[in-house]
Each structure stands twice: as structure tokens, then as C-alpha cells.
Structure 1
Amino acid sequence: MAAVCLVLTTPRLSHPSSSLFFPPCNSTFTSSCKMDDLPPGSRLAIVRSEVAMDSESEESGSTTPTHADTANTETEPFPDAEPFPEYNESECAMLASSIAADKRHEEAWIYALGRAAQQEIRMLHVDPNIIPYFKSDPSHRSQVVLEQLRDLLADPQMRPEIREQFITIINATLQFNLVIFHQSPEFLAPKEVEDAELLLETVLNHVEWMEEMLREQLQTAEQVSYAIEDASLEPTSAYERLCKMATLFAKAMKKPRYLERRLLALYMDMYEEWVHTPFFLLRNRQLVNEQHPSRGRTKLSRRVIIIWDLMNSCIESYGTLTWVTLEIKRQYFAPVMGYLCDSPEIWQHCWDQYQALQNHRHQTTEKDLSRYATI
């Protein structure tokens, strides 16, 4: 069914029967309210001539316009159009196209402002805090991944604490690449191993903290899912069940964010390109010709693998957490919300609460007045 489009003009009303705010004129009222029965120059005569309420003036079809009608015809954009039509297809089409054009302009402005904010954040907070790297190392894909990381870190929706944490990790990763592959002609020299251990320790501490936090959140989400399931089965009203389920969810769970999951995936790509793949490509060749195994090199190799495994675990936990959150919404919240949209139960409950509150205030006021009256 097409939408109703109202065309507003100057206040010149048509026949009263076409208006929702006035009852239809009957013959008795019309015969007793003729213009000839009114004294000339009276206020009522002027008003009735302006709004054309008299039935004879409309039924006679006189072509002689009054002074007020002439003025309205000159100022109205559509003099022959009904002031309050039920539907005007051409006007609705023009209005719809105008709204669509305004929406496109608004989206363009939002995109432009977002890009400007992103460039400013990158220029002020991201690029100056990331240590420069060798332009020709390691590969073109590595450079692309690092550039994508910088853009993502500069996103205005990225939380500042997450941005700072990943800038620290990225800097340590770049420094590890510099120490291992560019500091000495010998791969994994003793001095390189010592410096690289400190850098990997920084990365490992942050990644272990993220993995532990995500694992705890996943366990909490599973517990909340069981609690919400129990709440959804309670024999109470839909409104009370929704309130209890929402309280359980809001107190314990955190909403997964696409930017954070994307950031984890991009950093894992960077770690693979800058550390994991080139490190073990050289390390495996070195092991073949190594006469005496080095404990420092072995420990460093294991830490490179541990960080890789922890990053995989973080990404898997984040994906599972997202799935659990969506399942809770689909199984428990969506059915209740759909029921409340079609049921007056929620409104009746709110009205009852409002009435109880009003009665309590009224009783309190009466008690105060009676106490003062006895004093």
C-alpha cells in the first residue's frame, strides 16, 4: 500500500466533510448559517468568506473569486490542488527521490569524515609510534599486511588501549626481524639470540594475556548460556524473562568486535611473514649442518612456535565467542522480542507498575497531610 503524502498549503479549507477534524455539515446548520443572515462587515462573515464554509457558496459554483481567494491563489504553489489530499503520487515520488539523494550525500559525508579522522589518528598516534623497517624486506605481501595493520589501528572505532597494546607488539616483532636477519652475517649468533629473547618475551607476554582473557570469556559465555536457558524456562511473564536474561548477559559477557578479530588475523599474517616463515626456513637449514646443538637457539625456536600456537588459539577462541553470542541471541532473545512486539502484555505490565507507583505516592502524600493536620 502506497504511503500517504500530505501537501501543505496556506490555510484554505475545503468542504468540511473531507476533513478528519470537523463533522459533516447538515442541512439545518447550513440553512441557519447563510452569509445573507450575517451583518455586513462582521467578524464571522469575514471568517466564513475566508474558509468557504457556507454550503451555497460551494454548490452554486460561482466563478467570481473573493479577495481572500485571489490572495491565496497568488501565493499557493498548487492553487487547484486539494489542501489535504489522501495521496499525491507525483509529490511522494519527488519526496522519495529527495530523501534518497539526501541519504547518499549523508553517507558520503560520513565516509569522508571517517577517512579524515582515520588519517589524523594514523598520522598522530600510529605511524610515529611504529619503528621504521627496511623497505625491501621481507616481501611485498609483508609490506601490504603491515600497511593494512596501520590502517586498521587508525580506525576511529578502535579502542585506544587495544591500539597501544598492538603497537607495542608490532614494534617488538619488527625489532625481532631486524635483530635476527640484519644484525649479524651469522644466523642466530649468540648476541642475536640474547637480544631476540627479550623481544620475544614482550610479544609472548601480551599474547599469553590475550589468550587467557579470551579463554576466560569463552568459559563465562558458556556459563551465561546455561543461566539464560534456565531463565527462559521460568513460569513468569515474557517481560520479566527478558529483563532477567538481559541482566545476566550484560553483567557477565562482552560483545565481540569485528575490528578486534580482524586485528588478530592481520597480526598473525604479519608474524608469519616477518618472523615465523623466514625464521624456520633458515633454522631448518642450519640444523642440518649444526654440529653442537645450542640451548639458546632451541629455546628461541620453541618460543617462536609457542607464540604462533597462542595466536591460533586466540583467533579460534574469538570465533567461538562470537558464535556463542549469536546463538544466545537467536535461541533466547529473538523469540521473546518477537513475542513482545505482538503482545500487549508488556504494555499492561508497565501500566500496572506506573499505577502502583502513583498509588504509593498518593498514599504517602495523604499520610503526610494527615500527620500535619493532627499537629
Structure 2
Amino acid sequence: MIGKIIAGSSFAGTVGYVIKKQSRILSAEGITPPDVQEMVQDFKDQTLLNPRIKNAVGHISLSFSPKDGVRMTDALMRDIAKEYMQRMGIADTQYLLVRHFDQPHPHCHLVYNRVGNNGQTISDKNIKIRNAKVCRALTEKYGLHLALGKESVRRERLREPDKTKYEIYDTIKASLPQSRSWNDLELRLKEHGIAMRYKYCGSTNEKQGVLFSKNRLEFSGSKIDRQFSYSKLNRHFAQAQLQTRYRTTLAKGFHAAIGNYRSSFTDLFGNAGGNGNKGRTDNNIVNFGGNIGVLPLPPNDSPVGLSAAQLQRKPGESPEEHIARITALLNTAAEAMAIAAMERKRKLRDRKANKPKMKL
């Protein structure tokens, strides 16, 4: 999936372009299709809410690989485009989504008003960077074919030195996601006959570049691909290590929350807070699997509200966001159950203290 940001100076020209013979409207909001003039006027009317925006025309084409053509139904294309809009912050505004059939690859055009329904501005700051990230995320989520840049080059037609350069490119590309450090990457590349060495600043020990060699040919990282320059790879490893530490912290917090939850559950409801699920139905347990196993949920009539649905991963939620959210939910529930258990013990003590003593 590729998103192309297209400059547009007028709604008349943009809408007139996307509504053509070989096209079909997939979705629209805040405008009255299919008449072009009426849609253009609708767009123009809304721009009056925020005359400070000089160019209110938003226009993006979303293209898909021909290999996705069979499965790319109107419904799927519409769903992907709407999720694209949501992730790009294109919301609460007029838009027109039109599919074109004038090319061998499936594609559609999104026209939207940068003046929102309430006069707010739909930001285009860093739109190209955000577009690239969102397109890649959606490509992975929907299992779409990814054939961008060097991936689309036919390797069998290459000659030296490009043949070796692309072999190195493909190996680094495949090895990088599993590499957490320079040493990791060097060891993985060595398995494929690729050597790696550093360039230093003058006679110092300060690294300023990286070179990869194979078949007696050597290339700097940036010559293989800009994303493989020393500075960008170094940034990748720094982020990977930060992410590893963050995930470790999340995991510790999650397991601590599980322990607190089980303990509080047992104090309030008895031994049902253990790992077993005897006597409990699917409605009041949730199974995390692995070393967590089954976790009991408070009864429906309990003042502590927690359901299996709340603990499920939400659409668009990353694994890290999911773990952080349910950790907070479990901690909140554990605290509420601990308070309820203490309150129950207090009432029992008061009852015993106020119970009249029998005279002998």
C-alpha cells in the first residue's frame, strides 16, 4: 500500500479529476454526491468556517499492488481507507472516497476538507512522514503485498556490483528486525558471508561510518540504502534497546499486578482467586495462557466491575498499549477489592464488639 500526497489548489479541479468515467464512489460524508458542482459547493461552504486556511484541499491517493487485486473488494478498500483517515487524524470533516479503474493496480482517491466540521484545522504537519508510517502499518495489518523501492527490483537481471549490493541489502533487511545491537547484526551477516567494519573519525576511536563487504566488493551502509547509514542504524539499535527495557518493565508491572489481583481476590472471595477454575463459568474467568493461566473475575453482583471484554485487546491497540492498559485495570480492581475486604472485616469486628454477652 502506497499513499501519495497530491497538491490541490481547488475543490473544483480535484473533485472534477477524481469523478471520472472509470470510477466509483465508495464513501462520502458532509457532501451530496454524485453531482460534481453540488459536492464542490459543499466543500467551499465549509471553508468559510475557517478562512485563515489558505489551501483547504486535502487530496491523497491510496494504491495497492496488482497482487492484491483479487481480494481488494470495494468493502475492503473502504475499510482500509477509513482506518487510514483515522490514523492520519482526518476526522470530523467532509470527505469523498472514489475508486478508480483506469490502472492495472487497485487504487482510490481521498478528497477531504482541511477545515473540519467545527471550523477546526485538519493538520498537514509532517504529513509525508506520517503517511509512510501509516501505510506500512496498514500493509502489515491487512497482510497486503509490499513491493516498494528495492523490493520491486528484479534480482535475476542484476549484474555486478549491483548483484552483490542487493544481496547485502536483502540480508540486512531480513536480519535487522531480530538484531538488538551492532554485534547481533554482525553475527547474523557473517552467517551469510557478509563482513562488516567501521570507519573512524581521523585517528580517533569515534565511529562515523559502517561498511559491508561480500564477494570482494565493499559498500558503505548509506550506498546500500539510506536507512543503513551508520547514524540511522545506530539510532535503530538505541531504540531497540529502549524498547526492550520498556517491555521488560511492562512485563514486571503486569506480573506484579496479576499477583496483587489474585491476592486481593482471595481475601474478598475466598480460594477461587487461585489458578484453578473449578466451579466457574466462561463468563467469570479470563484465560491469559502461558504462565499466567486462568484469572477469575469478580461476580456480576460485586461492586468491583471488571469483565473479560475490558481485558481484550482493542482494534489498533499495540501489544505494549494493551499490556499497560490491562495492568492499570488489574491494579485498580485489586485496590477496590482490597478496600472491600477491609470494609467487610471491619463490619465483622463491629458486629462481634456489639454482640450482647450471655450471662451465666
Verify same fold: TM over 0.5.
no
TM-score by length of 2: 0.25
Normalised by the size of structure 1, how large is the TM-score? Answer: 0.24
More helix by share: 1
Say which structure, 1 or 2, has more relative contact order (CA 8 Å, 6+ apart): 1
**Structure with the bigger percentage of strand:** 2
The structure with the larger Rg is 1
